[in-house]
Structure 1
Amino acid sequence: MDSFDLVFSNFGIFDLIDIILVAILIYLFYSLLRGTIAINILIGYLLIYLFYWLVKSLNMRLLTLLFNGFFQVGVIALIIVFQPEIRKFLLMIGKNFKLYRNEYWYRFFVRNKTIQKEVGSAQIKPILDACKSMQENKVGALIIFAKNSEEEHFYKNGEEIEGTVSKRLLESIFSKTSPLHDGAVIICEGRLMAAACILPLTDNHDLPAYMGLRHRAALGISEVADVAALVVSEETGNLAYARQGKIKSNISLQELEKNLRKDLI
């Protein structure tokens, strides 16, 4: 009891904050690994580490020497193995900082919100009209909404268009007879920048079976870039919306409009 009292007598508010922050970091890193092949690699590494302590406690010198050599380069090996996950983690921190920073400047320095809402409505309406038409005709589509031209490297592998967003243009691109219907359309700063763009697929293996390549590409690009992704299912006509590594399926046009207003305006 004396040692127990001694430990907690030195326990202060910063120790509590320290524990909470470590728990948050562990949870965030686990949320990035969950559903990917990296979680199996991590479990395998932990099992090897436990086995190492077992052979060390049993004084098995040859195995201990072998594992010592392995763990001397273990940190470097982990960095190499988990490089995509570490990159996603840093991107997530940067995206959240950017999001809060932009919201701060918007609240304190944007004066004429009425004009901005009107401009936003003009940009969103042709997208909603096109989605309604493609839903009814079960035409598959994948549309990426980038906030600025910094994301241009994602559409350089497609066909550059740089045209005005319109219902007819979106319908003609995603028409099954169009040579551009495979791949994604990129909309940036109110302009349709490119079509037939190839995007990275997510490593998440927990997605439902009905989500195909378009859904995996939408989720994949939202994991690595500050973009939103809209999917129209070719099989069901249902809408799905991906943002910051999360995807919501079977949303209504009203929900889509709400999300677009939140993310684009």
Structure 2
Amino acid sequence: MKGFDFDFLTITVTDVMDILFVAFLIYYTYNLIKNTMAVNLLLGMLIIIVLWFVVDALNMRLLSAIINKFMSVGIIALIVIFQPEIRRFLLLIGKNTFLQKNRAWWGYLFGSRDIERDNLVRIKPIIDACKSMKKSRTGALIVFVKFYDDQLFANSCEMIESKISKRLLESIFQKYSPLHDGAVVIAENKIKSASCILPLTDNDKLPPQFGLRHRAGIGISETTDAVAVIVSEETGEIAYAKQGRVRMNVSFGELEKLLNKDF
């Protein structure tokens, strides 16, 4: 393709597109790993790479051989170490694709509008339960997922498979319930499981008043496409976690709009 020809450099349209794509990847990678332990892991790997060039230049054969063995499995090591970030990156791309952004049109074509309308109806008992738990200052963590991952949830949860009910949610999070210590997972218009143990966030910039519920809600939203509604036991305030970010002091009107938008 034709481009700009300077005395020392020729820049084509393809080169510009290449630079823009690389900038896009760097930006998304930065958003995924900022304020997480992945930053320290990445820094450690950069130090090893610099050390590799230094020992190779100094002809330190023994240390160079050891680092060469480590670098030979570098791609596999990257996949293992950054597995949560890679998963989040793929989810982020999937949620921003043309098909996802225009799912309403696909719903009209393939008859899924009835399902979406049913989703809106099922949100009301969740809002009512949150109102009741806020009034009684009952701590709660409710996670919403579009696709239930058996491998992620089933091993650490009690399976429920029940219709969404205000009284059932209140009963689960009641202080003396055996299921209250953990998260409720909602998917496919059902309460799929309760008492779920979720991964905590690695974000070290969170306010000190955030307890395990908030950290678990943020953590699951970092590693999956889930959103989490957290009711604080201390203040009764409601928080909404999505993509590793948390929105505090959410009103019930805002909560309904957010759930309708995301689900």
TM-score range (shorter-chain normalised) is 0.7 to 0.9
Instruction: Give the letter aligned to residue 59 of structure 2.
Output: R
- CA displacement 1:185-221 (0-9 Å, x = unmatched): 1111111111111112222222221221111211222
Question: C-alpha distance in 2, partners of 1:215/1:132?
Answer: 18
Tell me, yes or no, if structure 1 residue 6 matches structure 2 residue 4. Answer: no
Is the Cα contact below 8 Å between 1:29 and 1:89 reproduced in 2?
Answer: no
Tell me what 2:260 maps to. 261
Question: C-alpha distance in 1, partners of 2:140/2:249?
Answer: 14
Is the Cα contact below 8 Å between 2:126 and 2:166 reproduced in 1?
Answer: yes
Is the Cα contact below 8 Å between 2:160 and 2:192 reproduced in 1?
Answer: yes
Q: How does 1:1-265 map to 2 (within 5 A)?
A: 5-8=6-9, 10-53=10-53, 60-62=58-60, 66-67=63-64, 69-74=66-71, 76-77=73-74, 79-80=76-77, 83-97=80-94, 100=97, 101-110=99-108, 118-148=117-147, 150-156=148-154, 157-264=156-263
Instruction: Give the letter aligned to residue 76 of structure 1.
Output: V
Question: C-alpha distance in 1, partners of 2:123/2:175?
Answer: 24
Q: CA, structure 1 residues 240+7, in 2 after alignment: closer, same or farther (shift >3 Å)?
A: farther
RMSD, matched Cα:
2.8
TM-score, reference length from structure 2: 0.84
- CA displacement 1:112-155 (0-9 Å, x = unmatched): 8985565233211111111111112111101111213x423343
| Gap regions ≥5 residues in structure 1 | none
- Find the residue that maps to 1:73 and give its secondary structure: helix
Is the Cα contact below 8 Å between 2:28 and 2:89 reproduced in 1?
Answer: no
Determine what percentage of the aligned residue pairs are the same residue: 41
TM-score, reference length from structure 1: 0.83
| Gap regions ≥5 residues in structure 2 | none
Q: CA, structure 1 residues 75+142, in 2 after alignment: closer, same or farther (shift >3 Å)?
A: farther
Is the Cα contact below 8 Å between 2:218 and 2:245 reproduced in 1?
Answer: yes
* Number of aligned residue pairs: 256
Q: CA, structure 1 residues 35+15, in 2 after alignment: closer, same or farther (shift >3 Å)?
A: same
Question: C-alpha distance in 1, partners of 2:115/2:82?
Answer: 37
Question: C-alpha distance in 1, partners of 2:102/2:113?
Answer: 18
Q: CA, structure 1 residues 47+109, in 2 after alignment: closer, same or farther (shift >3 Å)?
A: closer
State the Cα distance separating 1:170 from its structure 2 match.
Answer: 0.8
Is the Cα contact below 8 Å between 1:222 and 1:243 reproduced in 2?
Answer: yes
- Find the residue that maps to 1:210 and give its secondary structure: coil
Is the Cα contact below 8 Å between 2:55 and 2:63 reproduced in 1?
Answer: no
State the Cα distance separating 1:246 from its structure 2 match.
Answer: 2.5
